[in-house]
Each structure stands twice: as structure tokens, then as C-alpha cells.
Amino acid sequence: MNQTATTPRRILTVVGARPQFIKAAALRAAFDAAPDFHEILVHTGQHYDTNMSGVFFEELGLRAPEHRLTIEDRHHGAMTGQMLAEIERILLAETPDALLVYGDTNSTLAGALAAAKLHIPVIHVEAGLRSFNKAMPEEINRILTDHVSRLLFCSTRTGVDNLADENIRDGVHMVGDIMYDVALRFGALADREALTATYRRPGRKLALLTLHRAENFDRPGRARQILDFVAGYAQDHDIVFPIHPGTRAKLAQMDVDLPAGLMMIDPLPYIQLQGLLGIADLVLTDSGGLQKEAYFHRKPCITLRDETEWVETVDAGWNALWTNPIHKPRREIEDYGQGDTADRILSIIRETL
């Protein structure tokens, strides 16, 4: 579709979870700086409390969303269905030129389906990721989103190859990793001296732990096995555990012994988490985003899952699975780009719409 100089392209962006707020920080700034774009942000409310949502908008300088929904604390079907209905209503009212989604959450899938059914082009940032484990809700979300998208922006060559294997080739672009843009911009702003004084003890190493995925809590004994594995690192590491509210509630219901030296704290704002990554010696996580952020800070990571979609972090020696926690020789990961992913994405959208 053709746009005139006085008619900005209207991009409706759907976010709902912490990693998407971070990614949106880079693109929302780029959209705001471009007179030929107008972004309309929809926050579904999937992550809803201040520590998981509001603080990210404040510290990353994100303008408040134009539409704020409160769809949270539901099972996958109910959550996705209500999101789809509400996003459809907003799409009909806003009539955007395209809808943009990030990653693989229920918010991502709901936005993509709502737009596709209205014949509105779907733009998927972080397309092509595959864990090849369809027991993960995220895997279902990302596959379905990719198959209804018009523009697919991949972080790595592996993502491009995964899409080609599914016969998705049109509209596919490798642009680098949008989270790297944000890490470069905000990663050095934390007060590392204060974090060191709070969390590091002389003569002890420091590990950062996150644990929240359903797959690690829905199977009997799985969380206990992982915490037993983590306990092996508590011998010479103090372990800081910023804990998701849902994870805290699940652990309270389970008969598990937490490792000695484990410090559970509330979720950290993005900049403080980047600072903690900067002073840590090791990252233990089941988060996809944190695997990459560990690499951005050149910290070794062990992923508390049986597979990872970020296979290049393993191949390059910065990451290893807990089932075989041995790192390969380290090298740089060139696919993630130079921190200019947002500009590259805008340029391609500009040429396409």
C-alpha cells in the first residue's frame, strides 16, 4: 500500500510480557523518531504487576500504551481467546496498516490471529525460533505466528533456515537481535558498585538464577531435580534468585528444599538486572531472553531446560544445557548484529508497506 508524506504508516504493536517490553523499547523509540510512522501500542496485561510491567515502561522511557487491557491469570485458552477478541476490537477501531508482535507469548499469538483474520499484515519480530518441543506453549505460539506473518524478522541465520524448512521464504529477513539494541543502550547504566556491595561476598562467586517456565513445574519432581542441580553450584556461589510471582506461589505449594545460599528477591527492574548480570560469574536460567543477555555481558550460562531455541549460544560456547553442563570453546556470535536492528526493521517495513 502506498503512503503519502502526510500519511504516516500506522503500526499497531501488541506486547504483554517483560521480554516484549524490552524489545519494544528499541522499536518504539525508532518509530517515534520517524515522521513517516505512527505506532499504537497495546499492552494486554499478561504481565501485570509493577515489578513485571510498569517499572519497565518507566526506566526504558517507553511512552504509555495507547490501549491497556487487563487480561491475566487465566489458563492458556481463556487468556488467548479473550486477548484475540479485545485486540480484534482495537484493530477495527484503529485500522492500522500492519500489526507487529514480538516473540512467542499468548499475547503474540492472539495479536497475530486477530490481524490475520482481518487481512491486516502481520510483522513478527524474533521469527523462526524453534525448540522443536511442542509441549512448550511458546513453541506452538511461535510456529502459528510465523505461518500467518507477512514480514518475518529473524535474529539469526538459524531462524531463517528453520522457516525455510517449513516452506516460509517470502518476507523473511535476518536483521540481528533487537534485545542487543537495548542492552547496548541501557546495560551500562546500573550502579554496579551498589549491586556488588549488596550481593557479592568476599571470596565467593556470584550466580544469577531465574526459573519460571511451566515445563519445569508441571511435571512431578522436575522442579526438585532442577533445584538439586542448582544446589551443586551453591557450594562456591552465592545465588541470587529474582523470582516471578507465579513461581514464588508454586514453590510455596511444593515440598522442596531450597539450596543454602539462595537469596530470593523480587523481580528486578531491567537496568538493575543488567547490572547484576555484569557482576555475576554464572547465569542459571530457563529464560530464553536471559540466555542471550548473558552472552551480551560475556557471562557463561547454563540453561535449565532440555533444549534451547538459541542454539548459537551453545555452539559458540557461552551456554550449555543442564543435562550436559559442559561449555564448548567460546567464540563471538556475529548474527546478533551491531545494535542497529531497530533501524534495519524500520527500513524494511518502510520499503514493504
Distance CA 142, CA 55 (A): 26
Report if residue 31 sits inside a domain: yes
Report if residue 185 sits inside a domain: no
Report if residue 1 sits inside a domain: no
- In contact, 95 and 63? CB cutoff 8 Å: no
CA 21, 152, 139, 341 dihedral sign is: negative
Distance CA 244, CA 267 (A): 6
Q: Rounded to two decimals, what is the model's pTM?
A: 0.91
pLDDT at 2 over 60: no
- In contact, 97 and 1? CB cutoff 8 Å: yes
Report if residue 199 sits inside a domain: yes
pLDDT at 171 (0 to 100): 98
Bridge pairing between strands 151-154 and 67-68 = unpaired
Task: Give the residues across from 11 on adjacent strands.
Answer: 39, 98
Chain-wide mean pLDDT for the chain? 92
Report if residue 37 sits inside a domain: yes
Q: How confident is the model at residue 35 (pLDDT cuts 50, 70, 90)?
A: very high
What are the phi and psi torsion angles at 49 (to 5°)?
-85, 170
Q: In terms of C-beta distances under 8 Å and separation of at least 24 residues, what long-range contacts does 295-298 make, across chains too?
A: 295/319, 295/333, 295/336, 296/179, 296/180, 296/183, 296/184, 296/187, 296/336, 297/183, 297/187
Cell of 16: 504483554
What are the phi and psi torsion angles at 173 (to 5°)?
-140, 135
pLDDT in tens, 72-98: 766 878 889 999 999 999 999 999 999
pLDDT at 239 over 60: yes
What's the domain range around 314?
A: 192-333
Query: Computed over its alpha carbons, how large is the radius of gyration of the chain?
Result: 20
Let me know if 212 is a catalytic residue.
yes
Indicate whether 136 and 54 sit together in one domain.
Answer: yes
Residues 6+ apart with CB under 8 A from 265: 240, 241, 242, 243
pLDDT in tens, 260-277: 889 999 999 899 999 999
Indicate whether 27 and 153 sit together in one domain.
Answer: yes
Q: Which of 212, 237, 244, 297 is catalytic?
A: 212
Indicate whether 63 and 199 sit together in one domain.
Answer: no
> Could you give the number of structural domains in the chain?
2
Indicate whether 18 and 154 sit together in one domain.
Answer: yes
pLDDT at 205 (0 to 100): 96
Half-sphere exposure of 60 (CA within 13 A, CB side): 33
pLDDT at 47 (0 to 100): 60
pLDDT at 215 over 90: no
- In contact, 210 and 242? CB cutoff 8 Å: yes
pLDDT at 106 (0 to 100): 93
Distance CA 128, CA 310 (A): 11
Amino acid at 220: P
pLDDT at 188 over 90: no
